[in-house]
Chains A and B, each alone.
Chain A
Amino acid sequence: MILNKVVYGSVTLLDIVIALVVLLIAFLVAKILSLYLRRFLKEKVAKGHLEIIAKVVSYTIIIVAVLAILPTIGIKLSGLLVAGGIAGLAIGFASQSIIGNLISGIFLMIERPIKIGNSVNIEGTGGIVEDIRIISTTIRTFDGLYIRVPNQKVFTASITNFVANVARRFEYVVGIRYSDDADKALETIKNIIEDHPLALKNPAPQVFVDNLGDSSVNIIVRIWAPSTEWFGVKTELLWKIKKAIEKEGIEIPFPQRVLWFANEPKAQEVRTSESHDSGSH
């Protein structure tokens, strides 16, 4: 029978077919199970967690299947350990960046400094995390670009996760004229913040005169907002504050400097005497 034909060593064609079938079944089971998990856990688990669970289950099934079929196709796992030493060295040199990325990917999944859907900045690349794969992480920048960052870079880079905490603070400096009523300005700004639903009640906003600047009395405004909403609140409130304080007759001054000219008194004297002369004629 053709299936009993030896292909190499003691491995027959039947062994290879069995190995391929097992591998195919493993791929199918992994695919079906990850699809089922995604559907079953969709509303019970956060999207980021769900992707990781599905991937871990899928990769585990495939790795177990590959390890299981190796003896069938004549590759002894004990022999692999010996051969692996030499091959590993060669492969290691050739694929050190891939292995580095793979290990970084595993550590990223364990440490989880970022999750899918988070708004982040990874060494100057800002955007939304689209996917965390085993080798790389994909980011959709705020202007809609697709960026693939190798996991090794993500793991070693300094990461700013803008939404890791549920709330965050932002700050403005509002300068008013020295002639304006600072108490009235503080009151007006506090009322505007109080009226905004997404400016959090607690932690309470801070509004205070911070310093007496060269051209203005500087008021610091610190507001907490939900992390998912802070940017919209920040842009909206700044303009509302500007309009509200101007409505109260308070102005935000331009930088100004008073200059005294050294010969000004003399010039003024000349102008004064000229006007007297013309008056006497």
Chain B
Amino acid sequence: MLSTQSPLRNAENRLILWHIYTATGALALGALFGLLQGFSRANFLVMPSWFDYYRMLTAHGVLMALVFTTFFITGLCTFAVYRQIERSERSLTLAWVSYATMLVGTAMAAITILSGNASVLYTFYAPLKASPWFYFGATLLVLGTWGVAADIFANVIWWKKRNPDTLIPLSAFMAATTFLMWIIATLGVVAEMALLIPWSLGWTPGIDVELTRMLFWYFGHPLVYFWIMGAYLIWYTVIPTTFGGRVFSDALTRLSFLILLLLSTPVGIHHQFMDPGISSQWKWLHTMLTYGVVIPSFMTAFAIFASFELAARRAGVRGFWATIRFLPWGNPVFTSAALAMLLFIPGGFGGIVNSSYAMDALVHNTMWVVGHFHITVGGPVALTFIGAAYGLVPVLTGRKLFAPKVALAQAWLWFVGMTIMSLSMHWAGLLGAPRRTSDVTYMGASGAQTWHGEMLGTALGGTILFISIALFVYVAVGTLIWNKPESAPSDFAFAPLEPEALPTPAVFDRLPRWGAVAILLAVLAYAGPLQEQLSQHHYLAPGMRTW
């Protein structure tokens, strides 16, 4: 019965759907560019000068790493908060203004990139100078997410005022923690934009290159954890609903998110291990802190597999293979997330290699790193989000999922394609193939033939992934077009807690306090390297357009 759905709930659902479908659009366009990149590197084609490789690579990076992920997470976290903090009246004005700001920013940046005026890749390292519209657009995208954060915080504060002695509902807590981390992290990129925008407009003559790199990576690494926290929210509190499971431990779930809040930011220099101008002691410090942020992932791995096993046991199922068979492999929501988890095991260990101080010299800026972030953000994160979309869209629209068997095939194709592509990329990197390069044959130079086979593997994996994304778009669009709303949107509840777990310490709920500690840690980790930067006589670079 449609009547059970309040108008407010319908309005909330519409807002969240816009986030999810904007993310889907970015993913589809980004996938097309990804396919063409794989073909370029395998020397199947040469991109024409009116749509060159680096313009396309910039678009792929921005659309996938910044637009797809961000819109999905803003939608997901808003959903978590609206569902767990039910209100009879709620203004959606701020949420819509934030969404519109993100969208306008995305359009500005995307048009600038596609017109060839911002071929600076998604890291936009100065002194490469893009059109100011690119920096304006990217800044608006980030500022829009601050609006989403404000909306999430306002709802959580509203709830906490009325329930001072109760813990914030778990999924809403995870959403608020994710956005608290995000605010602290994005301060870095907004500060960088405050330097880049006047410089790109010609108001300032030069820019401190190394300072902008440091500000970028202060943001660039926690960006990764922003994605992972979104995926973890789904793993902890949505996936158990697919097999009648429960959240293994409320306290440990919150603890892992608090560690992610504290340690996501003070680790960014591990992206700059090969940079001059930063002394090795700071690099060592950031190695150690990066290792610290591995711990919540260990906790998550345990908790998720425990939730599988405990549910199986309650159903009278025992033993490893019996537990595997017990899980709902016919459900694309579960299967996507489960395959995503499998991909995260090599992904996580590869990350430890990259963050291991001098060992990074073996892989830095090679295809290994490209393999690493495809098997992390492209694997666990993207596949989890796709699976979650299969669950969310029916909940939000009241329509059945269109072609669920295609959805299931899509998840498996993604897993196979990503395994082939990422393995090929990792291997190419170990052989020495550089990243971010349109053609890696170096005109037949000796030493550059060794990785050609891996480039073919990358193109093959990329083709399978492209087919997989096309199937996802088919299911996502088909659900809206060919399936009609047939019932009241199915009720959705996040996974319940294990009753045996002991109470969670109340101090976990004091998010402002944890946020203050996170800021303090970031300041401590960056004070030394920043002071070193600023105290040296530094050169202010004029902008250059080398494309």
* Pairing of A with B: no
